[in-house]
Amino acid sequence: MLTWRGHLLAYLLTALVMVYLSYRLPGWLPGDFVTAMYADSHVVLGAEQEAALRERLQVDGGFGSYLLALARLDWGTSHAFRVPVSDLILNALPWTLLLMGGAHLLATMLGFVAGVEAAWRRGGRIERTSVGGMTVLQGVPEIGTGVLLLMVFAYHLGWLPAGGGATLYVDHGFAERALDVLRHLALPLATLLLAWFPGNFLLARASMVLVLGQSFLDTARAKGLPPIRVRYAHAARNVLLPMATRFGLRFAFMVTGALVVETIFSYPGLGTLLFNAIGARDLPLIQGIVLFSSLAVLGINLVLESVYARLDPRVRVYGRAL
């Protein structure tokens, strides 16, 4: 098993491989690069633009200068929007962080508490129906829930906006602006919550059930500790590690779900930006978003590796990561 430094090295290497792939991929396209990239793009290049592009692309200082350019946030220019790719990404990023981060935090916390409580009431009717219901819900994809929520709450009931991140061209005070953002956030957030909560709930419950029979809980109870303390400080602590591990395993796939949900609600985050870029075959933008989000996911996974060690002292003592 690797030490922390080994992890860091492995992740860095992977990141380098991904950057290298993204650097080499366009060159492997058949035929001339500019023609290949623009052949069926919706953008028509003028003669000057084509010459300029050729010149820019032919100045190839190799992989090293590509890396430097990446570090300087020089990610190329979008064909369709004619602005630097980095600007587009940085504008969209806060929305995605708000949506994914909010949904993940809520799904994890609610799933944790509900799972622990369900396990505590094992065998009861509520526990049985909730386990059944959550298993069913686990079979419903984000596309399905998203479209249904859109139909019901945005179209038929008209309670919530059908798309976007905020109302444009209005002068709001801070409180109104915040409320407006929340109203736009509600449906995509609910969709992701419905997709992510069941897994967290079922895992928390299953891990908690495994802990319940153990004797250290009898000791805690015999000491006269209040039930809530026994339940959370002693028993539920053991649920945290499997939940964090699951997040690490699932995160790469959660990105797919968030991508689809953003598209359904045309939420102004990275997912919608990527969707539009795909529609316009805006290759530099696609490349930029793909590279950026892959590196971000890698980075978060690296952070998680160190979180495991904090959650589980056993991992730390042996310098192991599970």
DSSP 3-state of 2? coil
Write out the H or E segment, with its range, that includes residue 110.
helix 102-120
CB 184 within 8 A of CB 165: yes
User: Is 94 a binder of another protein (CB under 8 A)?
Assistant: no
Among 136, 179, 182, 233, binds another protein (CB under 8 A): 136
For residue 24, give Cα distances in angstroms to 29, 60, 133, 280, 287: 9, 11, 47, 22, 11
The residue to which tokens 């799972």 are assigned:
115
Given the complex with another protein, which of 178 and 252 has the nearer CB atom?
Answer: 252
Which residue stretch of 109-117, 168-176, 280-288, 306-314 sits at the interface with another protein (rule: CB under 8 A)?
280-288
| Region 169-208 residues binding another protein, contact defined as CB under 8 A | 205-207
| Phi-psi label, residue 59: left if phi above 0, alpha if psi -120 to 50, beta otherwise | beta
Distance of CA 241 to the CA centre of its chain: 19
CA distance 52 to 55: 5
Among 94, 101, 141, 319, binds another protein (CB under 8 A): 141
User: Is 39 a binder of another protein (CB under 8 A)?
Assistant: no
User: Is 81 a binder of another protein (CB under 8 A)?
Assistant: no
Would you give the binding string for another protein spanning residues 105-134, x where CB under 8 A is met?
-----------------xx-----------
CB of 141 to another protein, least distance (A): 5
CB 253 within 8 A of CB 213: no
CB of 177 to another protein, least distance (A): 27
CA distance 26 to 136: 43
Among 77, 96, 200, 294, binds another protein (CB under 8 A): 294
User: Is 286 a binder of another protein (CB under 8 A)?
Assistant: yes
CB of 87 to another protein, least distance (A): 20
Q: How many helices (H) and strands (E) does the chain have?
A: 15, 0
Q: Tell me the DSSP string of 196-218.
A: HHHHHHHHHHHHHHHHHT-HHHH
Among 86, 130, 200, 293, binds another protein (CB under 8 A): 293
CB 231 within 8 A of CB 120: yes
User: Is 144 a binder of another protein (CB under 8 A)?
Assistant: yes
Given the complex with another protein, which of 73 and 212 has the nearer CB atom?
Answer: 212
For residue 291, give every residue at least 6 positions away whose Cβ sits within 8 Å of its Cβ, in sequence order, or none.
18, 19, 22, 70, 75
Among 100, 150, 190, 194, binds another protein (CB under 8 A): 150
CB of 242 to another protein, least distance (A): 10
CA distance 195 to 143: 10
Given the complex with another protein, which of 10 and 178 has the nearer CB atom?
Answer: 10
CB neighbours of residue 183 within 10 Å: 14
Residue type, 45: L
| Region 201-240 residues binding another protein, contact defined as CB under 8 A | 205-207, 209-210
Residues near another protein (CB under 8 A) are 1-2, 10-11, 14, 18, 21-22, 25-26, 29, 122-123, 135-136, 138-141, 143-144, 147-148, 150-151, 155, 205-207, 209-210, 248-249, 251-253, 255-257, 259-260, 263-264, 274-275, 278-279, 281, 283, 286-287, 290, 293-294, 297-298, 301-302
